Amino acid sequence: MEIEFYQDDDGRRPVQEFLDSLKPKMRASMVDKIRYLQEVGHLIRPPKSKHLIDGIYELRAQAEGDITRVLYFFVVGNKAVLTHGFIKKTKKTPPEEIARAESSRQRYMEQKRKEDTSHG
């Protein structure tokens, strides 16, 4: 499966920035989860990944007492797009994090549609 880091309108890649901000053990744990997603794709299951809502999923990592999540979605063509990550402080994934992933997916799909129509 292809893994793509979502890039916002300013050219920033929130997942890369998040990974860069993590302590080494946590970064290694999350990178392992990303590699696993790349290997198994849609077959990934809890506890490594969980479906949240309407095609938005979370990769789940834990190290040194911290819990992190990276949100993502699948697109046609065997690809997963990682939108952003956060350190989890509450039992449930905060609704604003899910909304952010949904918004990123919407912008991603709009950009792909524009690219497809400009190439055709």
| pLDDT digits 0-9 by tens, 4-14 | 999 998 999 99
Q: Which domains does the chain have, with CATH numbers?
A: 2-119 (3.30.2310.20)
| pLDDT digits 0-9 by tens, 74-114 | 998 899 999 999 999 988 999 999 999 999 999 999 998 88
List CB contacts of 11: < 8 A, sequence separation 6 or more.
none
Percent above pLDDT 70 for the chain: 98
What is the mean predicted confidence (pLDDT) over 65-72? Answer: 95
pLDDT of residue 64: 87
Percent above pLDDT 90 for the chain: 84
Q: Scanning the structure block, which residue is given the tokens 């129509």?
A: 117
Task: Give the max Cα distance, the chain.
Answer: 50
Picking from 9, 19, 12, 5, the residue whose alpha carbon sits closest to that of residue 86 is: 19
